[in-house]
Amino acid sequence: MAVKLIMTWDIAPEHEQEYFEFVVREFIPGIQRLGFEVSDAWATVYGDQPQIMVGATSATSSKVRQILHSSEWKSLNNQLLDFVKNYTFKIVDAKGGFQF
């Protein structure tokens, strides 16, 4: 069964430019290289919720576990943490439509 990695975070105000450059040039291509398919990306414009939510799918939960334990994932994730705060992630069964 397909699974989805759901990540949320807030962009650190002092790193907005570097954040956008990193996400477009390195983070998204990097997670795709690892085997994820980016399924959705959302930005909160009003309310008390995380500023960014990104969903990425993979074929199986074992593939996701393999990716999350890889050195490339750890490197990408650590670089992302340089530009964001309040980062969280969870793994859920992928279903059609929007998922929290």
Given a cut of 90, whether residue 96 has pLDDT beyond it is no
> Is position 54 within any domain?
yes
> Is position 41 within any domain?
yes
Q: H-helix or E-strand containing 98?
A: none
Number of domains observed in the structure of the chain: 1
> Is position 98 within any domain?
no
Given a cut of 70, whether residue 66 has pLDDT beyond it is yes
Question: E-assigned strands of 12-83?
Answer: 37-43, 52-58
In this prediction the pTM is 0.90
User: Tell me, what CATH number does 27's domain have?
Assistant: 3.30.70.100
What angle is formed at CA 51 by the lines to CA 35 and CA 90, rounded to 5 degrees? Answer: 40
> Is position 99 within any domain?
no
Domain limits for position 31: 3-93
> Is position 20 within any domain?
yes
- pLDDT tens digits for range 30-40: 999 999 999 99
